[in-house]
Amino acid sequence: MSPEALLQQHLHLLETLHGQLLEERQQVSRGKLDGAELANIAHRKQQCVADINRLEQQRRQLLTRMGYANNRSGDEQAARDGGYAGQWRALLTLAAETAAMNTSNGEMIRLRTEHNQRLLNALQEAAGKNLYGPDGRASGRATKVDARA
């Protein structure tokens, strides 16, 4: 396979990953999270990243066999020599945008998690005991309200 064909596949996978990150952002931005859907998106993202890494390794090996340096300048030289410098720049731009979105989504998830933990802590404090055990299940000690009071 040619370096240009590998680059095209890489670009396609990056576009797929970018779309998955948009899905993730939409899920995280909703008032009520769908944990199963977020897990599904995370799984698909992991698979996509694994495919991207596999293609990148193939591309680097091919460029090295062709005599190009195994670094950014070798990548750029190969793109210029192969006539696909525009596609290479598009890949770099999309990769930067995708990385930024992934970082942003991670921060949104971290903030939601912290918020949820603060709410859980407040509920536990208000109840005066642990509402949930370490396994995330209800502790089984129901608080009864005395209607005679």
Q: Tens of pLDDT along 11-60?
A: 999 999 999 999 999 998 887 878 899 899 999 999 999 999 999 999 99
CA distance 75 to 92: 11
- Residue-range domain boundaries for the chain: 3-127
140: confidence class by pLDDT, cuts 50, 70, 90: low
Are the CB atoms for 44 and 37 separated by under 8 Å? no
Name residue, tokens 């290479």: 88
Right CATH number for 3-127 from 1.20.58, 1.10.10, 1.10.3470, 1.20.120?
1.20.58
Percent of the chain at pLDDT > 70 equals: 89
Q: Which tokens hold the place of 22?
A: 């948009």
The pLDDT, as a whole number, for residue 33 is 78
Are the CB atoms for 62 and 6 separated by under 8 Å? yes
Look at residue 142 and tell me whether its pLDDT is greater than 60.
no
CA distance 102 to 100: 5
Name residue, tokens 């300048």: 73
Phi, psi of 138 (to 5 degrees): -55, 140
Q: How many helices (H) and strands (E) does the chain have?
A: 4, 0
Q: Tens of pLDDT along 5-15?
A: 999 999 999 99
